[in-house]
Amino acid sequence: VGRSTFDTQRAAAVKVQRHYREMHTKKVTGVTSMQALFRMVKCRQKYKLVTSVISIQAWWRKSCATRGYQRTMEKIILVQRCVRRWIVEQDYREKQLACRVIQRAFREKMQREEAKKIVALRKKKLAIKKRMAKQVEYREKTYASTAIQAKWRGYILRLRRKRDASATLLQSYARMLVAKKKLTRVVLSVSIIQRSWRRYDAEMKFWELFVASSMVQAVWRGALTRRDFCRKFKAAVRVQACMRCQRQKLKYLELKHAATQIQAASRCQQERQKYRRIINSVVTLQACVR
């Protein structure tokens, strides 16, 4: 074989090898692009699944927390209702007992005063009856006396009437003083009772306002703590979600890097083997041609 034919055959073999390598590289690049797209789609599906699972977990935790919070609030409201009812019942019983004591004391006092009045009226009636009986006896005994005795007795009777009038005036004045003293005592006792009752009523109103304000303060503080807890809980959930997402991304990047390194090593090995086979075949062809 001449040198020219060998050169032509060699140029043809080199051209065939170049075309084969270009076709092979095109096939490899197409396959790698298809594999990259397929892996990208798979990774996106996995990421969507992970995000949906995280959102479902967050919703479930939120629903569990809201249910627990609602149950605790219902229990707290029930306890507050029972305590308020017990406080109202105790207050009503205490007021009822106080009213009964005041009414009993007032009725006893009124009964004593009425009994005293009845006794005084009876004594007055007995005194008047005795006086009239004495006058009747005196008139019956002295009916047969003389005119002088009658005039004398008339004079004595007039004097006695004047004395009786003055005595009645003195008695009325003394009774008026006694009645005034009794009235002042009753007014003082009534004022003392009213003062004590007003003080008691003011103290009970103050304690009711104090208990109500303390309950309102407790409810407000509970609302503030629950609000802070909800904010902190949401922030913690967001931080956890971000951390989990970051970890998953890092794991995914590590896996992707490892897979790409393994694929590159395997492809490099395959291409080396193919290249060695082609070199060997070309060398054998050249040897045969030579």
From first to last of the 290 residues of the chain, give the pLDDT tens digit.
456 777 777 777 777 777 777 777 777 777 777 777 888 888 888 888 888 888 888 888 888 888 888 888 888 888 888 888 888 888 888 888 888 888 888 888 888 888 888 888 888 888 888 887 777 777 666 665 666 777 777 788 888 888 888 888 888 888 888 888 888 888 888 888 888 888 888 888 888 888 888 888 888 988 888 888 888 888 888 888 888 888 888 888 888 888 888 888 888 888 888 888 888 877 777 777 66
Determine what percent of the chain falls in helix, strand and coil, rounding each to the nearest 5. 95, 0, 5
Distances (CA, A) of 226 to 132, 212, 216: 93, 21, 15
Is the pTM above the cut of 0.75?
Answer: no
Instruction: Give the pLDDT score at 143.
Output: 64
Exposure letters 180-208 (e unless 16+ CB within 10 A, then b): eeeeeeeeeeeeeeeeeeeeeeeeeeeee
131, HSE (Cβ side, Cα atoms, 13 Å) = 9
Distances (CA, A) of 25 to 19, 28, 30: 10, 5, 8
Residues 102/193, Cβ–Cβ less than 8 Å: yes
42 CB-near residues (< 8 Å, 6+ apart): none
Given CA atoms 64, 66, 67, 69 in this order, what sign does their dihedral have?
A: positive
User: What region does 146 belong to: left with phi over 0, alpha with psi -120 to 50, or beta?
Assistant: beta
Q: From CA 64, how far away is CA 58, in angstroms rounded?
A: 10
Given CA atoms 145, 150, 155, 161 in this order, what sign does their dihedral have?
A: positive
Write out the two tokens for 245.
Answer: 């997402």
Secondary structure of 158-206 in HEC code, one letter for each residue: HHHHHHHHHHHHHHHHHHHHHHHHHHHHHHHHHHHHHHHHHHHHHHHHH
Residues 102/197, Cβ–Cβ less than 8 Å: yes
Instruction: Give the pLDDT score at 1.
Output: 46
Distance of CA 81 to the CA centre of its chain: 12
- What single letter denotes the amino acid at residue 173? Y
Residues 288/1, Cβ–Cβ less than 8 Å: no
Residues 196/105, Cβ–Cβ less than 8 Å: no
- What single letter denotes the amino acid at residue 154? G
Q: From CA 37, how far away is CA 254, in angstroms rounded?
A: 18
